[in-house]
Amino acid sequence: MHYVITISRQFGSGGKEIGKKVAEILNIPCYDKTVNEFTAVKTGFSKQTIENAEDKTPGAFTYGMFSYVKLQPMHDEIFFAQSEVIRNLAAKGPCVLVGRCADCVLSDRKNVLNVFVFAPIEDRVKRVMSRHNVSQEEAGRIIKANDRMRKRYHDHYSDRRWGEAKNYHLTINSTVGVENAANTIAKLVEGLAKKDE
């Protein structure tokens, strides 16, 4: 049975880059924004609509309103369609799945390695300042807002808490470097695959 690696990450920690590097080392596909494209085809929503709904959860008012008319909020519809896309990708073969609550979606599947990537706030601020060309203060605000949304989204659709070490097979500090972090994850996957032979 093949292995699937899920990468959850703090905003600005470099988790996406690490996921791509792991996929490159293992010569397997990495799915990040492409999951949105597949979900758009499945739901009929535009890719932009799906990206706008990403990491957002419907509030109590929305649920009340939709339950009244016996419909499902758009955020839930997108999440459940995205979950089906993730399960299909995982069933196809080994891959890396970045974000999108993949660790929760695949919680009943064997041979999944769940990784959480984190970094000290000062490193994350530097990365966000460089990537988005914003001030230190603005970078801090962006990080705080995105982490809050990711946590709320994850915890809304899962019974496990986002970022808690006990909910992952491996947590890794990206200050060790993208290459070192990716090599560590890849070696762990290779070791687990050999153990299963």
The CATH code of the domain that includes 130 is: 3.40.50.300
pTM: 0.87
Beta bridge partners of 4: 95, 112
- 8-state DSSP, 176: G
Contact 121, 173 (CB under 8 A): no
Tokens of 6: 């899920």
What is the number of structural domains in the chain? 1
The arithmetic mean of pLDDT across residues 92-120, rounded, is: 95
At 14, the pLDDT band (50, 70, 90 cuts) reads very high
Task: Quote the CA–CA distance of 4 and 102 in Å, as a whole number.
Answer: 10
Tokens of 100: 């999108």
Tens digit of each residue's pLDDT (9 = 90 or more) over 118-159? 999 999 999 999 999 999 999 999 999 999 999 998 988 888
SS3 98: strand
Task: State which H helix or E strand residue 151 sits in.
Answer: helix 136-157
Task: Quote the CA–CA distance of 134 and 38 in Å, as a whole number.
Answer: 32
Tokens of 171: 């947590």
At 1, the pLDDT band (50, 70, 90 cuts) reads low
Contact 139, 129 (CB under 8 A): yes
User: What range defines the domain where residue 119 resides?
Assistant: 4-196
> What is the CB-side half-sphere exposure of residue 51 using CA atoms within 13 A?
7
Residue located via tokens 């459940």: 80
Task: Quote the CA–CA distance of 128 and 151 in Å, as a whole number.
Answer: 19
Tens digit of each residue's pLDDT (9 = 90 or more) over 47-91? 788 777 765 565 443 434 444 444 467 778 888 889 999 999 999
